[in-house]
Structure 1
C-alpha cells in the first residue's frame, strides 16, 4: 500500500507566486474534499480507493470526506452516485453539499420552467440513470415528464438529496459548492450565492473570513489561489476527478483520470505555490 501511494506522489505547479495564505485544519483531523462528480461513479469509486490508501498511509486521524455538490447530471450514473453517497454516509464521516444541479433536480418535480433547463444541462442522463423508459421520456412533453419522474424516482432519493448542506466550516476552511459573495459574512450569504456564484468571487484577490474550497467552475487543473481553492476539473467531460486533502497547514491533491482507452489511473501531488491570477 505504501509503495502504491509513493508511486502517486510528485507533481507541482511550475511558476512561483506570492506566499500561500496559511490556514489550519484542527489537530488530529484530516479532510478530503471531492469536486463535482456529475454522475461519474466510475471515477469516484476509483478515487475513493486512492483516498483510503492515502488515509492509511498518513496515520490515524479523524477523517472527514466532503462532497462539494453536483453529484448528479451530465455523467452516466447519477442514480448510482446518489446510492453510493447514502451508503458511505451511513458507514463513515461523510458530509455532502448541495450544488446547483441538485437544486434544479429537486425543483424540476414542481416547476416546469426549471425542468426545461434541467433537461438541457444533463438532467436527461440523470433520469435515465434512475431507470426511466428512454422511449417514453423522448415522447413525453414537460408535464408528462414530471409524471414519469414522480413515478420513477424514489422519494427516499429525493429526500436524501434535499438533506445536503449549504456550507461547512472546519478550522480555517469554508466548503461550499460554488463560492461566496465577497465582503459578506457567512451568516448573510444566500443559497443562490453558495450554489451558483462565479463573479465577483473568482477574481476577488483579498482574503475572506475563511479559505474557500469550492467546485462549480471547471478548470483544467485544481486551482489554489490562496484565498480560495477550486477543484472542479470537469469529470463528466475531461475524465478527471480531483480531491483536495487538508491536514494541519498542509494541502495536497489526489486525482483519478480516464485515458482514451478507458483505463482509469491515479495521481497525487503537493502544490508548491498557488496559481497566480
Structure 2
C-alpha cells in the first residue's frame, strides 16, 4: 500500500528508519552477518518477513531474498529511494531525531535513524521544528514540544499508529488508527495542542 501510494503521488516521500534500513540492506544483499543477527534478534526481521508470508527465513536467506524481490519487485526500489530527512518549512521530518548543535546538512544518517537521549533531552532550538518517531512517547499519544513533535505511539504494542496533519505550514491535528479484533481499522482525529 505504501509503495503504491509513493508511485502514485510524487509529492510523497518515505523517511528511512532503522528497521527499514535493515530490510533495504537485506534486499540489496549488504547485511553483514552481525547485522543480520541484530535484525533477527532485536529489530523486527521475523515480523517483517511474516508480512511477506515467510515464516522460516533462516532455512535459506538467499531464497528468502529472491522470494521477496520476485513477489514485490518495487519494494527494494522504494527503500532505496527513501530519504533520511525531508524539510518542509518550518518543519524537518526525520525518523529518530537530530544531533543537537550540528547543522542539518552535517547530520549523519546513523543519527537520523538511531539517536535517542541526546536529541530527546535537548531543549534548545533546531534549524526547523523536528517531526519524528523512533522513540515511543511516555503518554502513548503524540507529544508536542517547542522544538519537536513526537509521533511514536508504540504502534507495535499499542495497536495505535499515529500521523500528524499539517496545513498551511502549521500542525493542524493528529490521526490515530486502531485495529479491532475483527481486523477493522478505525481512524480517530486527535486535537493538536493550541
* Pair in the same fold by TM > 0.5: yes
- Residue 161 of structure 1: CA displacement? 0.9
Q: Which range moves more in the overlay, 181-190 or 259-268? A: 259-268
Matched, 1:221 2:138: no
Aligned position for 1:86:
3
Structure 1 CA distance for aligned equivalents of residues 76 and 37 of structure 2:
19
- Residue 89 of structure 1: CA displacement? 1.6
Q: Summarize the alignment of residues 155-194 of structure 1 with structure 2, pairs less than 5 Å apart.
A: 156-194=74-112
Q: Against the structure 1 CA distance between its residues 265 and 150, is the aligned structure 2 distance closer, same or farther, given a 3 Å change threshold?
A: closer
The partner residue of 1:149 within 64, 69, 74 is 64
Aligned position for 2:44:
122
Structure 2 CA distance for aligned equivalents of residues 156 and 205 of structure 1:
40
SS in 1 for 2:186: strand
- Residue 214 of structure 1: CA displacement? 0.4
Q: Which range moves more in the overlay, 89-98 or 190-199? A: 89-98
- Residue 257 of structure 1: CA displacement? 1.5
Structure 2 CA distance for aligned equivalents of residues 88 and 113 of structure 1:
33
Q: What count of residue pairs does the alignment treat as equivalent?
A: 183
Asked whether the equivalents of residues 107 and 114 of structure 1 are also in contact (C-alpha less than 8 Å), the reply is: no
Aligned position for 1:137:
57
Structure 2 CA distance for aligned equivalents of residues 264 and 129 of structure 1:
17
> TM-score by structure 2 length?
0.85
The partner residue of 1:254 within 161, 175, 181 is 175
- Residue 259 of structure 1: CA displacement? 4.5
Asked whether the equivalents of residues 95 and 133 of structure 2 are also in contact (C-alpha less than 8 Å), the reply is: yes
The partner residue of 1:245 within 148, 158, 165 is 165
Structure 2 CA distance for aligned equivalents of residues 218 and 210 of structure 1:
21
- Residue 123 of structure 1: CA displacement? 0.7
- Residue 264 of structure 1: CA displacement? 3.2
Q: Which has the larger radius of gyration?
A: 1
Unaligned runs of 5+ in 2: none
Q: Against the structure 1 CA distance between its residues 97 and 210, is the aligned structure 2 distance closer, same or farther, given a 3 Å change threshold?
A: same
Q: Against the structure 1 CA distance between its residues 156 and 269, is the aligned structure 2 distance closer, same or farther, given a 3 Å change threshold?
A: closer
What's the C-alpha RMSD, in Å, of the aligned pairs?
1.9
Structure 2 CA distance for aligned equivalents of residues 166 and 131 of structure 1:
28
Q: Structure with the greater relative contact order (CA < 8 A, sep ≥ 6): 1 or 2?
A: 1
Structure 2 CA distance for aligned equivalents of residues 230 and 101 of structure 1:
18
